[in-house]
Structure 1
Amino acid sequence: MEPTAITDVLDGRWAALRRTVREQLAGVEYRDASDLTTEQHRTLVFEQLHALAKTEGPRLGFAREYGGGGDIGGSVVAFETLGFGDLSLMVKAGVQWGLFGGAVQLLGTQRHHERYLADIMDLTLPGCFAMTETGHGSDVQHLRTTATFDNNGFVIHTPHQSARKDYIGNAARDGKAAVVFAQLITGGQSRGVHAFMVPIRDAQGDPLPGVSITDCGRKAGLNGVDNGRLMFDHVRVPREALLDRYGQVDADGTYRSPIASDNRRFFTMLGTLIRGRVSVAGSAGSAAKRALTIAVRYADTRRQFNRPDDKREVVLLDYQAHQRKLLPALATTYALHFAQEELTAALHELQGQAEPDERRQRELESRAAGVKALSTWHTTAAIQTCREACGGAGYLAENLLTTLKADTDVFTTFEGDNTVLLQLVAKGLLTNYRSEFQELGTVAMARFVAEQFVGMVTERLPSLGRDDPDALYDRSWQLQAFEDREAHVLSGLARRLRRAAGGEADPFEVFNNAQDHVLRVGRVHTERLVLQAFSDAVGRCADGDAKRLLDRVCSLYAVHTINEDLAWFLAHGRLTPGRGKAVNGAVNALCRKLRPHARTLVDAFAIPERFLDAAVLREEPDRQDVQWRHDQANAAS
């Protein structure tokens, strides 16, 4: 089967845009940056950023009335596709047009849009997104930088070292302005975190008075991004610098907001900025696809050891152990791709509304948090697996995997630390669980309690119905297994917290002592969403051959995930010991069936060949010169 049949399914709703961006990337000069100095890499990336600014991609996410494309989902897809190339360029583009420009668009009002957006889109105004502080990374609500209203303006101030803005992209070299997140204070009262447009450099590129800029220096990866640190010493900005969609300050200092609650206003503001988190998840997936393409192509030609009855050495991918390394990782990458596609579509629909639905916004934030966490953790693990699968060759910079490993490592902790994000997912689920529980009537409540009791009594028995060998390959059984696990883990966490929360219990200690359970809830919920997204994509597939192949890949993802969590399924009686053993055998069987299609599956990613120019893929397949060794053996005899 031709890879293009699978590519068509992968490209989905934004197929035309994906093709366009891939064609543009194919024309971009690319070189591995591992041997560049920090300054050389930054210069190269900034030049490429200017070239990118001349295309339509950076404009996609902005409103048409300001020269944008009005395609929010398309902007995410474009950044995701940039992940096939130099990830420093992708990150720098994301800072400029996703974070900096996105904050101005989503938190500002018409005057900010008219004044700044055109210059942001064409890169006349390079900017920064200054949220993270040295002492407060994930805890944005308690940032220490202050913006105090005074004399019809605001004074931006860093009160101490831990309030320094840290790790800010574009700050060390190129940024001229920053969207600074600070505690708004007016009339002696704090109104919570708000965003302000603050100039940081003059026309000559020097820091403005009161602005201190230092360079974060060399990092493990992404050295084409100029991360820096910002401090403000009573820097005055006009009242109009406040990005005031959710909070306004009048000339006399009176504060007004369409959202009365400070807490709700904060989370509403932050919720509008999830586009960056969604983009990181997508670009992480692109990096995993690139690594897997290199590793699978290498394994499909590299030979090692010969069969006893054959002088010709065995191709690496014919070994079961090698299949078990690469093919489940490939299946998971496919699964996360379709989950990302669904997430992007949901973001596009919601942020395209004039007044987004608050419940749907919370659901989107939860899904984005879970997918971002699983995608970036998977990318880190998959690239390491690919490096090992390529042996010592994978450790050479010329084979690209070490650069991918270094550049993606930070993805697990930026745009939200993954551990914190899974807790966010679990808290949302607990809120929904409590709400649904409280809304039950008397009869329904009695039924609910009875079901919980039955669930506890039968926990030691197989509860997934079928116990035949074919069940493991049945999609409805797989979905039931994931759904059952999620429901059980969530209800178990709710019971655990309820038991611990009685009397004079400290709420922090109660939640802290259950964090292992909380994180499991976030993970199993997201894994269920991922499987459902993959299953739905297979169901929509019109090409019969493509559908059959993707159905098998989906089964490998499902069975591999069950195998990875087999202890839970056995301990909770969802599988008998015999069926548990069969799960591992099913992974092996699916790997064998997919092995002939491995090259098709990676080629279907349609990554421009210039980004796959690893030295090991340029060499002849039999580069060990098997014939030479055979001749030597014959001569010796």
Structure 2
Amino acid sequence: MRSIFASLIHKPAYEEHAKHLEKVFADPLFDRPTGIDDPARCALTYRRLKHINDNLGLSAPLLEDRERLFTLVEWAALADPSLFYGVFLHYCTTMGAIQDFGRGRDDLDDLIGAMVSMDTIGSLMMTEVGRGNSNANIRTQAVYDAERQEFVLRTPDAAAVKFPPGVSSPFPRTAVVSARLMAGGHDRGLFFFVVPIRDADGRPCDGVRIAPQRPTAILPLDCALVSFDDVRVPFRHWLRDGAALTADGEFTDPAGDALTRTRRLLSVIRHAWEAAVVGLSAVSRASAAVAVRHAHHRRTSGRHAADVPVITYRNQQRPLFGALAAAYVTGIVAATVAGPEQPVAGARTIRTTSLLKVTVDRLAERVTVRSRQAAGALGFFADNRYLDYQGLAHSFNTAAADNQMMLLDGALTLAAGVEYEPPAHAAPTRAERDAFTPGVWTALAATRERLLHQELTTALRTATEAGRSTLDMWNENNALAEALSEAHAFSLVLDTVCTALESVADPAAKAALTDLLALYAAEEIAAHDGWYLAHGLLDADEVRSFPHRVNELCERIAPNALELAEGLDVPYEVVGAPIAEADYVHALTAHTAVAYPDPQA
């Protein structure tokens, strides 16, 4: 059944790409270093990135080959979360911005070519230190100089300093910088500009001020604060996206107005969200698979039984099988996100991708924490990777846009009905209700989404009629707005999961997956059991029965747990966690200077 399970995670083309990457990642360059300082650790990340690029044989941006790109994204996350950041920033966000907003232009070929060959490493610079994670109120200015037909990029004050791009290591760097276009004395909205940051020798370019920041303990990155002191930017480096400026400063823009232009600019982050979903799924699947393996190999002598695998105990099964279920959910979602790109990145696509990023990130944190905790003290060993992977998941609470902000933005468009209709599913009756079967999962989730949408829109309408300000209106309903976005995301995930389940033809495999995914759905529904109880969608007997039903699921999952773990299709050689080995004791102690006798001799 392993191959059936794995088919939900990876497409057939994955094997070919993975075989190539296996050779690339086998280089000693990817051995995990010890005893090196932060600058050397960051420099190693970029040497790894360059080594990968040199072995890809690229002739075009990797974003044009999504299957190959996302296989690399996955392996980079598993091998080195810091490397993952380099991969998605270079290939996805920086080159994605040039391709999206420079589409149809051949005068950018040299800039794209330098990035394809990695003669320069890309970075996206949007957020500013005085604006938190808001990308809408950017204050960096690109002032049009009509006489010289170029732009002057400047940081008007300390609050407009760009942060936290990873550009402090001395490598050739080129950034795509978001700035407010000032032309003809008017603010024309936000645009991207391609700006060299470090020259071929890795030195800061004229007018570019780079203030390195200390790498964080959980994720070593070469973050910096970057400002611009009248940096001259050639006209062709403006990613104008159909807009035009005449020599005398006359401006036209198909977007229509500055607000629409700003919203259009933010669409580029979808490439980061897609990469995040794939990378976070990879570390979720690795954490769960390693933890379930280890729990079968690790033996304990407890009060109730002597020398049994720890997975025998329900207090290991419940968190680990829940982690295994969540890991499958992230894998199924990632396989969908990594599919063919939508022809038009409309409001629905942007909202869906952003909410899936939030959901998968939260699941990744859950999975990595549970997996680490289940391993006991060994979970804190750096070689066993849990802390690396947990750090990556934690960083994406705010990386590629803040999760809470995306939930609130999503609720804003849901409440306004932007490419959205609330679900019309009828609430299941008591006679037909079993929260552990797929049809009922989706009906309960859809009903919660519909009722929360109704509650939020009613609250907003009432506040408007009472003359409340927009700030007060949303401030009072933030929690409700977040709940609606979370419910909508849960419905999206369940639809994706149920579609995947329907594609499984083998009865035994389908039954095993249904039990596992029922555990995921049950955990999510139980997290809001008070709400469901208050709305008559569950009764007290059903809520009280949840722990017993979960135990029944664990009992059915247990015989298939190892095979389900293998079905997550994790390349253990890239993960490199000793704890994943059957003889994990030998794997952990073989390098010690002491020779231990064989107890069987």
The residue aligned with 1:105 is 99
Pairwise CA distance, 1:35: 4.4
Match of 1:267 among 260, 263, 267: 263
Pairwise CA distance, 1:33: 4.4
Q: Which has the larger displacement, 282-291 or 243-252?
A: 243-252
Pairwise CA distance, 1:294: 2.1
Task: Tell me if the contact between 1:531 and 1:554 (Cα under 8 Å) persists in the aligned partners.
Answer: no
Task: Tell me if the contact between 1:134 and 1:165 (Cα under 8 Å) persists in the aligned partners.
Answer: yes
Per-residue CA deviation, residues 418-458 of structure 1 (Å, 9 max, x unaligned), is: 00111122122112279869xxxxxxxxxx9xx99xx9xxx
Per-residue CA deviation, residues 450-493 of structure 1 (Å, 9 max, x unaligned), is: x99xx9xxxxxxx521447x823322122111111111111111
Q: Which has the larger displacement, 290-299 or 71-80?
A: 71-80
- 1:458-537 correspondence runs (5 A): 463-467=427-431, 471-537=434-500
- 1:411-422 correspondence runs (5 A): 411-422=396-407
**Alpha-carbon separation, structure 2, partners of 1:133 and 1:405:** 26
SS at match of 2:8: helix
The residue aligned with 2:110 is 115
The residue aligned with 2:42 is 42
The residue aligned with 1:603 is 566
The residue aligned with 1:249 is 245
Pairwise CA distance, 1:59: 6.5
- 1:313-328 correspondence runs (5 A): 313-328=307-322
Pairwise CA distance, 1:539: 0.6
Pairwise CA distance, 1:74: 4.6
- In the alignment, structure 1 residue 27 sits paired with structure 2 residue 22: no
**Alpha-carbon separation, structure 1, partners of 2:576 and 2:68:** 28
Q: Which has the larger displacement, 565-574 or 262-271?
A: 262-271
Change (3 A) 1:417 1:112: farther
**Alpha-carbon separation, structure 1, partners of 2:358 and 2:248:** 44
- 1:176-575 correspondence runs (5 A): 176-223=173-220, 225-306=221-302, 308=304, 312-345=306-339, 348-350=340-342, 353=343, 356=344, 361-432=346-417, 463-467=427-431, 471-575=434-538
Pairwise CA distance, 1:571: 1.6
Identity of matched residues, %: 23
Task: Tell me if the contact between 2:188 and 2:257 (Cα under 8 Å) persists in the aligned partners.
Answer: no
Task: Tell me if the contact between 1:34 and 1:397 (Cα under 8 Å) persists in the aligned partners.
Answer: no
SS at match of 2:106: helix
Pairwise CA distance, 1:286: 0.9
Unaligned runs of at least 5 residues, structure 2: 589-601
Q: Amino acid of the residue matched to residue 293 of structure 1?
A: A
The residue aligned with 2:578 is 615
The residue aligned with 1:157 is 154
**Alpha-carbon separation, structure 1, partners of 2:553 and 2:59:** 43
Pairwise CA distance, 1:565: 1.6
Q: Amino acid of the residue matched to residue 390 of structure 2?
A: K
Q: Which has the larger displacement, 365-374 or 270-279?
A: 270-279
The residue aligned with 1:632 is none
Relative to the length of structure 2, the TM-score reads 0.90
Change (3 A) 1:423 1:212: same
Task: Tell me if the contact between 1:173 and 1:226 (Cα under 8 Å) persists in the aligned partners.
Answer: no
Change (3 A) 1:88 1:238: same
Change (3 A) 1:338 1:11: same
Pairwise CA distance, 1:389: 0.9
Q: Amino acid of the residue matched to residue 255 of structure 1?
A: F
Task: Tell me if the contact between 1:284 and 1:408 (Cα under 8 Å) persists in the aligned partners.
Answer: yes
Change (3 A) 1:327 1:134: same
Per-residue CA deviation, residues 192-235 of structure 1 (Å, 9 max, x unaligned), is: 11111112223332222211112122212331x32222111111
**Alpha-carbon separation, structure 1, partners of 2:318 and 2:100:** 45
Pairwise CA distance, 1:583: 2.4
Pairwise CA distance, 1:131: 0.9
SS at match of 2:193: strand
Q: Amino acid of the residue matched to residue 293 of structure 2?
A: R
Pairwise CA distance, 1:550: 1.6
Pairwise CA distance, 1:552: 1.9
Change (3 A) 1:137 1:106: farther
Task: Tell me if the contact between 2:76 and 2:84 (Cα under 8 Å) persists in the aligned partners.
Answer: yes
**Alpha-carbon separation, structure 2, partners of 1:123 and 1:505:** 53
**Alpha-carbon separation, structure 2, partners of 1:59 and 1:565:** 50
Change (3 A) 1:57 1:302: farther
Change (3 A) 1:199 1:472: closer
Pairwise CA distance, 1:70: 3.2
Structure 1 vs Structure 2 CA RMSD: 2.7
Task: Report the structure, 1 or 2, having the larger helix content.
Answer: 1
Relative to the length of structure 1, the TM-score reads 0.86
Task: Tell me if the contact between 1:569 and 1:575 (Cα under 8 Å) persists in the aligned partners.
Answer: yes
Change (3 A) 1:245 1:86: same
- In the alignment, structure 1 residue 128 sits paired with structure 2 residue 123: yes
Pairwise CA distance, 1:133: 0.9
Q: Which has the larger displacement, 35-44 or 274-283?
A: 35-44
**Alpha-carbon separation, structure 1, partners of 2:33 and 2:402:** 27
**Alpha-carbon separation, structure 2, partners of 1:473 and 1:113:** 54
**Alpha-carbon separation, structure 1, partners of 2:269 and 2:246:** 25
**Alpha-carbon separation, structure 2, partners of 1:137 and 1:283:** 24
Per-residue CA deviation, residues 332-365 of structure 1 (Å, 9 max, x unaligned), is: 22112212222333xx342xx4xx2xxx621111
